[in-house]
A and B are shown apart, each in its own frame.
Chain A
Amino acid sequence: MAETLPAPHALVNGEPFPLDAPVPLTDLVARLVPGCVVDGVPQGVAVALDDAVVPRGAWGATTVGPGARVEVVTAVQGG
């Protein structure tokens, strides 16, 4: 029996995120947190790509490809 290769994906917040081709980080965040996008810019969230923070201004020029590890975080109750 032929092994089924897993579909290409990135790891977004620890979960597999199907990804055939690289996508701009802005699009990925907007899909993940549609409620926080104001004037096309997501508010109140931050992104780390492979353990490095990606400044908001660089999201448009940054692409996420299969195999990438992405963390998208926001402020929650705590402390």
Chain B
Amino acid sequence: MLTIAGVELGSRLVMGTGGAPSLLALENALVASGTELTTVAMRRVAPPGPGAAAGDTSMWGLLERLGIRALPNTAGCFSVREAVLTAQLAREACGTDWVKLEVIADDVTLLPEPLGLVEAAEELVRDGFTVLPYCGDDPIVARRLEDVGCAAVMPLGAPIGSGLGILNPRNIEAIAAAASVPVILDAGIGTASDAALAMELGCDGVLLATAVTRAADPERMARAMRLAVEAGHAAAGAGRIPRRERALASSSPEGRLDLAL
């Protein structure tokens, strides 16, 4: 059970929805993932007019129907002001004060801008939001975000959409060991073993989108991710064996045959 800001979630896998080939494929993947928390982006409704469909709120309807809690994000925001206004709009539109806060440095790296992120987080916390910031893998930035009252911290494993896995496992482990709020590995996951590793490093959850939505078979990958997160969490709790430099026999040498061969 993952508890964020006092809310219990039955799954430690948080899903993103970007990049899905169709709404139906997305729905099947969300169901297969077992997720109970899923990100959405805020965008202008389509303008009505000849040939243009009227405003489409189908993404909103899908999450309502599946009973999945929406986690609006501030994707595409490059400044504190943009991110704060987008979060406020999301609160109105989605009826939730939860926000995945993104303040992005530039549209090439898509890396979080740490100074603006902390400033926006502080402002939104003061405004009553439950803030889940998408941050770099710097343990000190994670600490600052916790200090200003974030309900979780969400360090990246690797750049958004890269599928490179966890580039700095030591930092992720350090963030997880130091944090007193949930740590959710966000971005960079490529395949199931990456998600399992995040959990083994001590993360409380994993957020991923592209790894599932752009997989050849999104539904099957969603199931793989669900199992990987469960397996990694179980392994982390089970206490792995220490690493050794040399082999250690698992069969006892006692009672071994003494053959004159």
Q: Which of B1-54 contact A (CB under 8 A)?
A: 16-20, 23, 26, 39-45, 47-48, 54
Stretch binding the partner chain, chosen from A1-9, A27-35, A61-69? A27-35
- Please state if B57 and A53 are interface contacts (CB–CB under 8 Å): no
Distance of A45 Cα from B93 Cα, bound (Å): 4
Instruction: Classify chain A: how many residues form its interface, as a range.
Output: 20 to 34
Contacts A75-B60, A75-B93, A79-B18 given; does A33 touch B42 at CB 8 Å: no
- Number of B residues contacting the other chain (C-beta, 8 Å)? 40
Distance of A46 Cα from B17 Cα, bound (Å): 20
Partner of B61, one of A12, A44, A47: A44
Q: What's the nearest-Cβ distance from chain B to residue A52, in Å?
A: 8
Q: What's the nearest-Cβ distance from chain A to residue B131, in Å?
A: 15
Q: What's the nearest-Cβ distance from chain B to residue A1, in Å?
A: 30
Distance of A53 Cα from B87 Cα, bound (Å): 10
Distance of A56 Cα from B92 Cα, bound (Å): 7
Distance of A13 Cα from B48 Cα, bound (Å): 11
Distance of A62 Cα from B159 Cα, bound (Å): 42
Q: What's the nearest-Cβ distance from chain A to residue B133, in Å?
A: 13
Distance of A31 Cα from B16 Cα, bound (Å): 30
Residue numbers of A with Cβ under 8 A of B are 12-15, 31-36, 43-48, 51, 53, 55-56, 71-79
Residue numbers of B with Cβ under 8 A of A are 16-20, 23, 26, 39-45, 47-48, 54-57, 59-61, 63, 70-73, 75, 85, 88-94, 100, 102, 209
